Amino acid sequence: MASEGDRGRAPAHGPRPRHGPGASGSDPMTPCRPLHTAAALLTVGSLLVTFRTGVEEGTVVLAFGALVAVGELLSGPGLREAAPLGAAGGLSYALLGEHAGHPGHHGVAQVVSVVAAASLLGSVPHLARGQGPVLDRLVRRVLAVGFAAVCFQPLYNNGAFDRWRGPLYALVLLALLVLTVLCDAVIAAALAHSRTGWPFPPLLRDELRAVPGIGSAVCATGAVMALAVAVVGLWALPVFSVPLLLTQLSLRRYAAVRATNRQTIVSLARATEIAGYTPAGHARRVAALSQAVGRDLGLPEAELTVLEYAALMHDIGQLSLVDPVPAGATSGLPAAEQRRIALLGGAVVRQTGASAQVAAVVERQADPYPEQPPAARIVRVVNAYEEKVQGTGPGGPLTALEELRLGTGGEYAPEVVEALARVLSRDCLTLPKGG
C-alpha cells in the first residue's frame, strides 16, 4: 500500500503531467473517478440506510469508531500502509458477528457508515495540513471494509456460519481478510496509477509484495479482534490494539529516518553543483527521470529507492577532478577516466553511510552495459540523455534520443533507451519509435 513522498518539482526534460488531446491513458495527479465515485455512492447509500433504520448497539459503534479514528489520527506519511490500526479496526468491525456472546444486529450499511465517518474524523488534521494522498486512503478504507462486510454480514445474519465454530470459523475469517487485502491491493494500485501515471502492473506487484509484511499484521489483528470481542466483549479492543499500535509508531520512526537519510543524500548530491562541476538541478533531474524509467521497466520499490539514491550521487566522483568537465558532461570522456570517476564516487558514497547497493551502482555506471546491474544501466542512459539535451534547442530531446539509440550497440542498454523513449513519449514529446 504505496508509500508516496514528495519527489520535488518536475525536471525540465523529465516526467511531466500529461495534457491535451494527444495524451494517452489517465492523467497523473488526477483522481481515479470510478473508484472515488463508487466509494462516495457506497458511503452516501450506507448513511441513508443507517439513518432510516437507526443505529444498532451504540456502545459497540462508539468503541470501533473511536479505534478507527485514533488509528487514522496516528497515521503518518511515507508509509505503505499509513494507518494499520485504523485498517485493522475497520476490518474487525466488518467481520464482527457477536459481542460478548450476544449476536450482533448491525449490517453492511452500519459498518460502512461507522468506518467512513470515523476515518474521515481521524483524517481531518491530515487533510488540513495537506499531508499526502489522504483522500485515496479514505477511498481504499471504505471500499475494502465494504467488500469485507458484504462478504460476511449477510451470510452471518442468515445463519450460514452457525455450523462453523472454533478453528474453522477463524479460518473463514482469515480467508475473507486475505481476499479483502488482495482487493485493497488492486484498489491501491489503481489509485496510484491514476494519481501518478506510473504503469499499473509494477504498482500492483509492489502492493502484493507488501501483503506478507504489514498486510499480514493487519489481517491477523483484525481477525483476532473480531474473535476476541465475540467472546470477552469490547475490552479486547485496547488489549489487541497495543501490538499493532507499537508497530505503527515504529513504522513512523522508520519513515522519519528514511526521510532524513534522503535529505542527507540530496544535500550531498548538491555538492557538485555548488562546486561548479555540474549544472544546477542536474542530479535531481537525472534521479526523477531515472525513477520514471525504472518504473516503466517494472523495477520493484526497493530497487527504485536504490536507483534514486544512486542517481542523485552519480556525479559525486567529479569532486576528485582538478578542473571541472565542461557542463559536467562525463559521457564524452575516455572510458578509463569515466571508470576512475565512478570508482571514486562509489568510495565517497560508502563513506556517507549509504547502502552498499547504492555505492555499487555508482561504481559500475561506467562499466560495459551487459555487466551492469539494471539500476546502473538506467543511470548511465539517463545521465547521457540529460547531458546531451542541456542547452539544445527544441529538437534537443529528439536528437539526444537518436544519439543514444545509435550507441545501443556498445554503450547503452537498448531496453533502457526504449523505456526512456516511452517515458518521454508519455510526457507529450513526439518521438520516433525505435526499431
Using one digit for the tens of pLDDT, what is the confidence trace for 390-408? 755 455 778 888 888 887 6
Please report the DSSP string for 380-405 in residue order. Answer: HHHHHHHHHHTT--TTHHHHHHHHHH
Q: What share of the chain is helix, strand, coil (3-state, %, to 5)?
A: 70, 0, 30
Residue 98 bridge partners (DSSP): 103
pLDDT band at residue 158 using 50, 70 and 90 as cut-offs? confident
239-288 pLDDT per residue, tens: 888 888 888 788 778 878 888 888 888 888 888 888 878 888 888 999 99
Q: Each residue of 99-145: pLDDT tens digit?
A: 877 887 888 999 999 999 999 998 888 777 776 677 888 898 999 99
In this prediction, residues 81-90 reach a mean pLDDT of 82
What is the pTM assigned to this prediction? 0.72
| Single-letter residue type at 131 | Q
- If one compares 88 and 27, the residue with the highest pLDDT of the two is 88
Distance CA(307)–CA(137), nearest Å, equals: 27
- DSSP designation for 26: P
Across the range 72-86, mean pLDDT stands at: 72
pLDDT tops 80 at residue 16: no
* Residue 65: CA count within 13 A, CB half-sphere: 17
Task: Yes or no: say if 314 and 381 are a contact pair by the CB < 8 Å rule.
Answer: no
Q: Where are the alpha helices (DSSP H) in 197-334?
A: 200-210, 216-232, 236-269, 271-274, 282-296, 301-312
Domains plus CATH for the chain?
A: 33-257 (no CATH), 270-426 (1.10.3210.10)
Q: What's the rounded Cα separation, in Å, for the pair 365 and 126?
A: 41
Question: Does residue 8 have a pLDDT over 70?
Answer: no
Q: For residues 123, 125, 127 and 128, what is the CA-based torsion angle, rounded to 10 degrees?
A: 160
Name residue, grid cell 561506467.
366
More confident residue, 106 or 21: 106
